[in-house]
């Protein structure tokens, strides 16, 4: 590895979500602010939809880290499970003891009693469900029932859904519109602005560096611009390209990443197509449903 070569104490561009490397670019900070304000205001259901690789999981973990000591938190990273399994996963996260044999009624009662106990102590409870687009439709009803747990004054359980754009498609289905109506605040998390990429690179290098004074100087401005353009501002792709660029520079025995390193890294990396804007995805879906091809002004072709 190139850590010693570049005076780094850890890998700066790992794609593992690590809150130590959280970078609050405009989209990420807006999503975090919305979640914090809404949760502290007592809102019951919140949603963040983000493109693939744009940092939903690290945002979720940053939210949980920020809420430590203020909220009782639960985290469900993979909700692709049946209704009863989802309830059991939540009970396990909240430390609820479930008597054997397991019965749905007993699980709901146990979760309800736990939430009431926290409410009496003045504590709020929030559960964050990552990759929420994977929730089976038949499991959505369990979420709706959980959102019914409340006192006369406030919700006993606040729920945050984080998922890919498919989540919006699923929530728009007629049979689960009751859940969609309960979502009070939503935010979209997309790629960062391209002019933020050089600062993002410097931020991660400084976090991982043994010598913060020189950490941000490893990428030339031209190399950073090339990475920004090739990645489309998608954090995961930025990390992949930056990591490969550092490896190339290390292989040559140089201490600076140049534009040619960035271009070679991009040429070696599949999946660099920038995600479509939401309005283009919506238009494409409308065309598929209507079965009519139209031009940019909406006229039939």
Domains held by the chain: number: 2
Task: Mention every residue, 6+ apart, whose C-beta is less than 8 A from residue 55.
Answer: 17, 28, 189, 235, 236
pLDDT digits (tens, 9 = 90+) for 236-288: 999 999 999 999 999 999 999 999 999 999 999 987 755 555 566 566 556 55
The percentage of the chain sitting over the pLDDT mark of 70, rounded to a whole number, equals 88
Which pLDDT score is estimated for 277? 59
Is residue 7's pLDDT more than 70?
Answer: yes
In a domain, 17, yes or no: no
Taking alpha carbons only, the member of 145, 187, 144 closest to residue 37 is 187
Domain, as residue range, for 267: 194-301
Which pLDDT score is estimated for 293? 46
Q: Which of 167, 189, 211 is the last residue of a domain?
A: 189
Which pLDDT score is estimated for 273? 57
User: Residue 68 and residue 82: Cα distance in Å, rounded?
Assistant: 29
31/157 same-domain check? yes
Which pLDDT score is estimated for 150? 76
pTM above 0.75? yes
- DSSP annotation of 134 reads G
Is residue 59's pLDDT more than 80?
Answer: yes
Q: Which of 135, 158, 189 is the last residue of a domain?
A: 189
Q: What are the phi and psi torsion angles at 58 (to 5°)?
A: -70, -30
244/138 same-domain check? no
Q: Which of 159, 189, 219 is the last residue of a domain?
A: 189
In a domain, 269, yes or no: yes
185/210 same-domain check? no
Which pLDDT score is estimated for 101? 85
89/73 same-domain check? yes
In a domain, 16, yes or no: no
Domain harbouring 44, CATH code: 3.40.50.300
240/298 same-domain check? yes
pLDDT digits (tens, 9 = 90+) for 193-218: 999 999 999 999 999 988 765 566 79
User: Residue 47 and residue 133: Cα distance in Å, rounded?
Assistant: 11
258/206 same-domain check? yes
pLDDT digits (tens, 9 = 90+) for 141-184: 888 888 888 776 788 999 999 999 999 988 888 888 788 888 98
């Amino acid at each position: 590895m190139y850590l010693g070569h570049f005076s780094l104490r850890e890998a700066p561009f790992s794609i593992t979500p690590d809150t130590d490397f959280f970078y609050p670019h405009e989209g990420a900070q807006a999503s975090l602010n919305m979640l914090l304000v809404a949760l502290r205001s007592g809102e019951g259901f919140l949603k963040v939809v983000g493109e693939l690789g744009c940092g939903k999981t690290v945002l979720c973990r940053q939210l949980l880290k920020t809420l430590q000591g203020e909220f009782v938190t639960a985290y469900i990273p993979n909700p692709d499970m049946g209704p009863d399994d989802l309830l059991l996963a939540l009970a396990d996260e909240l430390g609820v003891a479930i008597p054997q044999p397991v019965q749905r009624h007993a699980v709901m009662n146990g979760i309800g009693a736990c939430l009431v106990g926290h409410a009496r102590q003045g504590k709020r409870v929030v559960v964050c469900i990552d990759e929420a687009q994977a929730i089976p439709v038949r499991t959505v009803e369990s979420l709706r029932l959980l959102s019914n747990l409340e006192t006369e004054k406030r919700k006993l359980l606040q729920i945050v859904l984080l998922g890919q754009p498919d989540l919006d498609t699923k929530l728009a289905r007629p049979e689960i519109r009751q859940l969609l109506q309960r979502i009070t605040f939503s935010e979209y998390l997309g790629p960062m602005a391209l002019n933020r990429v050089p600062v993002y690179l410097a931020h991660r290098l400084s976090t991982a560096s043994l010598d913060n004074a020189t950490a941000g100087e490893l990428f030339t401005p031209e190399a950073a611009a090339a990475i920004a353009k090739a990645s489309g501002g998608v954090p995961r792709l930025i990390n992949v390209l930056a990591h490969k660029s550092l490896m190339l520079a290390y292989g040559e025995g140089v201490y600076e990443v140049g534009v040619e390193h960035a271009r070679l890294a991009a040429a070696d990396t599949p999946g660099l197509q920038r995600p479509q804007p939401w309005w283009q995805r919506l238009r494409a879906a409308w065309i598929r449903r209507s079965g009519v091809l139209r031009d940019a002004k909406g006229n039939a072709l």
